[in-house]
Chain A
Amino acid sequence: MNIIRINKSTKFYMNFRINQSPKTNFKMKSIVVLLSALFSCHWMQAQSNRGEITNPLYTISIHGDVGFLKMLAQSGVLKKQSNLSYSFGALWEPGHLLNIGIESGFLILEKRSVEKMNTDFGTTNFKASLTSIPAIVVFNMKLHKLNLYGGLGASYTTSSIEAFDLKTITSRWLYTYYAALGYSYPFHRFGIGLKGSIYSFSKLNKTDVSIMLDLSFDVLNW
């Protein structure tokens, strides 16, 4: 079997005019906008109350998540496949209401396999996968006992196709929108909880949702 790996230039697609977003993307982006607005309001409030915070506590925390991720079809119907995915990130908590961090991971967006698929070119075994390594700037805010996240960034997305005894791997960068809601139970400097996330990718016009076990650790406090 031939295996061909194609390394693409990291062309960044920022042409909004030709980007055709579906309703799912619209909803996703609207959520990001609302969360961003909420964060901004609280951040402004925090700025105005700055003098009242007498003992600011600065924290840098890291977290790792593992769980399942599913791609939503354009119609909003959940597709059958759900894949084990991982994410991790770091958060700077400067003592205000708004925290900032970065988020990455390894997401299996889509995976499918068909044995003995009939085509115009004969029968073939077909395997396809789409994976993504996001690099997202994340804004976080604690709302009561919940953690709200919203972010923007890019994902290095890789497609792998195997059919007709040929494997083709291609990669490119895609714009990524991110929103999440989590709960974490504190235990000394650790935290354990659950996080539900949604990712939206430009050019794919699809949204992925994930439920992940969330483990966090406060690396630095001062």
Chain B
Amino acid sequence: MNIKVNRILFGLFIILLHSCQKKIGPEDVPVTSLSLLDSATAVSEKVKPLMEGVYSIRGDISNFGQDMVLKWNGASLSGFSSKNSSYIVLKSGEKNGNLYFEGYWRYAESQQTGLISLTLEKDNGASDLMIGKKPASIKIKGTLWDSKTYFNFEMNYIRPLSVHSKAFYIIGHRCGGRNSDRLPASENSLKMIPLSEQLGANAIETDVQLTKDGVPVLFHDDYLSTRLINETYMIGQIRDYTFAQLRALCTLKDGQKIPTLEEALEVVVDKTNLKLVWLDIKGTDVIKALAPLQTKYMNRALITGKKLDILIGLPDETNFNEYVGLNISQNHPAICELNEDFVRSAQAGFWAPRWSLGLLTDRVKQMQKEGVKTFIWTLDNTQLVKRYLATDEFDGFCTNYPSIVAYEYYSN
């Protein structure tokens, strides 16, 4: 074959590759029609800290690894395992002295999912837990549905969750994950915020843009497109449309409306225990518009007894200059993605270098000496998560897969 023919075949191959992309977006999770939780009461708060820990898994299932981290988030119990980056999200209830859990399992990096239920019987540790006593052993019986087959398995308590010397932030990117991560809610949406906690996050990063009439809303992309919204007739930028137009005429992929920053912060304060919100600024003049909301919701969190940091993101020099020009660093904490000199100039209490810059050991230590917390972004690969965690340097990771970071952090 001559060179021309080879070139044509190569071109065809590239086109073929492009055509083989799959449809990926928010996906529903399975819901059971026969609930064990009917007529069950809420699980006592005494149970939760005693039950959290690392459990071994035995049985015929191959969906998870050899162990699983179980962690409570309000009334919901989550589990994180190593194999296939799997996680479970369960509702809970107490009935006849037994504890019941049901929900779904999912692989973080694929679309495989199914139903799962757990039972902790009174004789297997539930009785002791309910009176606030640590039982000698905890044995949980489980059933997992994979396609049309079900498998029984058993989980046994091995050890408590790892305790680390300093507070660590698992920051859910775009409120917990991207649309392409097949989560049951759209990225940067109100439903995603409480879901991020169930996925293992204790903080979120979100993207803020201004509408034409100056309302800060959550939206990542430069342009509206069917990657994030359902409607085809809106293809401009967020700032091209008024808030009324955006709210009335378009919906996110899972049917929710595009949220305002105020609505999102309200959910964070009132419905979650998240410790930190990182506002990634998109565009100009956003900082001035969101600063009053930052103050309002940090104060509101304080009143309700929560310690919540809301940080203004400074991703580039334009936003840095705007922030410095407003002279608000005293009362409006910021997180700067530029180098250390910019962090110092902005008097930002947080630094966020990109993970691809490497471990930055000396530079991170220096910033921490100066009282600056350092977060790395966006860390999704399991091996990298392990490597960065092993250094024990960073104060937090921003990730699209909080469940992976949660497993590695709490199990080691």
Contacts and interface: CB of A to CB of B under 8 A. Distances in A.
Contact of B236 (A8, A23, A109): A8
A121 B242 CA distance: 12
Given A6-B240, A32-B19, A124-B248, A172 B233 contact: no
Interface residues of B, number: 36
A126 interface: yes
Given A19-B21, A26-B19, A121-B244, A163 B227 contact: no
A11 B12 CA distance: 25
Contact of A205 (B12, B226, B234, B244): B226
Contacts of A32: 15, 19
A30 B21 CA distance: 11
B237 A170 contact: yes
Nearest to B213: A166
Contact of A163 (B8, B18, B232, B248): B248
Contact of B5 (A33, A44, A110, A205): A44
A26 B247 contact: no
Given A21-B23, A164-B242, A203 B233 contact: no
A20 B5 CA distance: 30
A112 to B, nearest CB: 7
B249 interface: yes
A159 interface: yes
Given A20-B179, A21-B23, A120-B248, A36 B15 contact: yes
Nearest to B5: A44
B232 A170 contact: no
A60 interface: no
Given A110-B232, A203-B235, A33 B248 contact: no
B24 interface: yes
A157 interface: yes
Contacts of B180: 18, 20
A168 B241 contact: yes
A147 interface: no
A172 B240 CA distance: 13
B412 interface: no
B242 to A, nearest CB: 6
A6 B212 CA distance: 12
B235 A157 contact: yes
Interface string B135-159: 0000000000000000000000000
B233 A128 contact: yes
A54 to B, nearest CB: 24
B18 A36 contact: no
A26 B20 contact: yes
Interface string A176-192: 00000000000000000
B226 to A, nearest CB: 4
A30 B12 CA distance: 11
A19 B227 CA distance: 7
Interface in A191-207: 203-206
Interface string A132-174: 0000000000000000000010000101010110101011101
A29 B22 CA distance: 12
B245 A161 contact: yes
A161 B223 contact: no
A71 interface: yes
Interface of A: 6, 8, 11, 16, 18-23, 25-26, 29-30, 32-33, 36-37, 40, 43-44, 71, 109-110, 112, 117, 119-121, 124, 126, 128-130, 152, 157, 159, 161, 163-164, 166, 168, 170-172, 174, 203-206
Interface of B: 5, 8-9, 12, 15-16, 18-25, 179-180, 212, 222-223, 225-227, 232-237, 240-242, 244-245, 247-249
